[in-house]
Amino acid sequence: MAALTPISRKPQSFVLPIVAAAGAFVGLFFGTANGSGFVGMMGGAVITAGLAWLYFNVLKTERLAMWISLAVALVLCIYLVGVPGVVLGVAFGLFFWWFSYWLYEGRYRARLLPYLTPGQVLWHYGFRIICGCIFFFLVSPLVPVMWLSFNAQDFFTFTPEMLRFDPEGYSLKHYQDFFTNNEWQRSFKNSLIIAPIATIISVSLGTLAAIGLSQSHVPGRRAIMAILISPMIVPLIISATGMFFFYSDIGNFLEGTLGMGKNLVGYIKVILAHAVLGIPFVIITVTATLVGFDNSLTRAAANMGADPVTTFFRVQMPLILPGVISGGLFAFITSFDEVVVVLFVGSASQKTLPWQMFTGLREQISPTILAVATILVVMSILLLTTVELLRRRSERLRGMSPA
């Protein structure tokens, strides 16, 4: 952004009405929750604007104003809502204190270009609020899931004890259930068997093919690419249907002619099916990494007498490793998260975690699902962090500016 714009105090005739309007907006909700929206609105407006007036004209110290705001908001919220109101009270107290001074001291202009009109300033912040709402829409659905997974009751809904932050209302029993229930444990184990093996297959084949595809002269490159990406594009239900018929034939062949165990054949079918589904992700990430790969390095290695295999493992592989790993993580999560294909191709003994969750969601609603969901969210945060770190490392390795 541009240089710091000089800021100046704004007239109170501008600040107080805005603060009052915000107060009225918040008060409206408290009002409707307690019977009368109108009283809430007026109360909110009067309290916030009055406090702001007090700060600007009498107090003149920001620090003290913060404590007053907090105290007033806390008392009000606890009075109106009860114990859970503590959270709301802290949030609203801090917000109105900050908001009043932000407007009064003209701080909202500090980071903007000096020549913007008031309308543009309003739009600037309005736009950020819209974006904030969309980000909220993206992330917030995960919060109640995590919260409810600690429910002491067997319900999908919040109990009054939970809202009062009463320790009675919370328990780890759904986690305990997940870790002790045979069914969940078996499906978790199945997922941990199937996903890594499928990932290894798709990563090893996918990396080779991506290296082949990134050579300069590949006949029919576009068509090959289209075929290799297609498992991502074709609707899962169609892939699943096709594989259902096809793999049952293969399975019969393996069991009947080669005399393999029923269980083993089941795993082979699911693993192969999942390996195919993971391939597009490996291809996409590895080819993206190879775009920045300097081919003169392999030529230099060959020049110094390395054979292609040595060149690959000693020169090319270390450089593209971040891309390969993040492709692998994508493939892993695809398999770990896949339910449609395994539902059609697998049999009961290959029941994976998503399958178990899916039947749980359709039939018996058990909050253990929410505990599993929370564990999966934590896992995806870890995976996401790994991928992000790898991406930065890869960019550093390729000499791009660190993003």
Partner 1 sequence: MSDTTDTGPVLAADGTPLKRSLNRALRQQKMRALMLIAPLLLFVLLSFILPIANMLTRSVNNDIVADTLPLTVVELNVWDSDSGELPGENVYAAFVSDMVVAIEAKRHTRLGTRLNYESTGMSSLFRKSGRKIKNLDPATDGPFKDKLIEISEGWGKVETWREIKTHSVRITNGYFLNAIDMRRTPEGAQAQPEDKRILIKLFGRTLWMSLIITGSCILLAYPVAWILANLPMRTSNMLMILVLLPFWTSLLVRTSAWKVLLQQQGVINEILVWLGLIDDANRLVMINNQTGTIIAMTHILLPFMILPMYSVMQTIQPTYLRAAKSMGATNWTAFWRVYFPQSIPGIGAGSILVFILSIGYYITPEIVGGTKGVFISNRIAYHISSSLNWGLAAALGAILLAVVLLLYWCYDKIVGIDNVKLG
Task: Compare residues 96 and 344 and give the one whose CB is closer to partner 1.
Answer: 344
Taking CB under 8 A as the criterion, which residues in 142-161 touch partner 1? 142, 144-145, 148, 156-158
Query: Of the candidates 93, 357, 371, 394, which one interacts with partner 1 according to CB under 8 A?
Result: 357
Stretch 335-354 residues interacting with partner 1 (CB under 8 A):
336-337, 339-340, 344, 354
Binding partner 1 (rule: CB under 8 A), the pick from 68, 74, 272, 321 is: 272
Q: Does 315 bind partner 1 (CB under 8 A)?
A: no
> Least distance in Å: CB of 295 to partner 1?
12
For the CB of residue 49, give the shortest distance to partner 1 in the complex, in Å.
Answer: 23
195 binds partner 1 (CB under 8 A): no
Q: Which is nearer to partner 1, 29 or 79 (CB)?
A: 29
- Which residue in 4, 54, 122, 234 binds partner 1 (CB under 8 A)? 234
- Residue 65 or 387: the one with the smaller Cβ distance to partner 1 is 387
For position 254 contacting partner 1 by CB under 8 A, the verdict is no
Distance separating alpha carbons of residues 218 and 205, to the nearest angstrom: 17
CB 142 within 8 A of CB 377: yes
Residue 241 touching partner 1 (CB under 8 A): yes
- Convert residues 282-311 into a mask of x (bound to partner 1 by CB under 8 A) and - (unbound): --xx-xx-----------------------
Which amino acid is present at 250? I
Region binding partner 1 by CB under 8 A among candidate stretches 2-10, 54-62, 173-181, 379-387: 379-387
Stretch that binds partner 1, among 90-98, 100-108, 133-141, 257-265 (CB under 8 A): 133-141
Instruction: Report the site for partner 1 in 20-59 (rule: CB under 8 A).
Output: 29, 32-35, 37
Q: Judged by CB, which is closer to partner 1: 17, or 126? A: 126
Among 71, 122, 208, 400, binds partner 1 (CB under 8 A): 208
Instruction: Tally the C-alpha atoms within 13 A of residue 157's C-alpha that lie toward its C-beta.
Output: 2
Contacts of partner 1 in 84-123 (CB under 8 A): 120, 123
273: left (phi over 0), alpha (psi -120 to 50) or beta: alpha
Among 121, 321, 383, 397, binds partner 1 (CB under 8 A): 383
Asked whether position 228 contacts partner 1 by CB under 8 A, the answer is yes
- Report d(CA 82, CA 166) in Å as an integer: 12
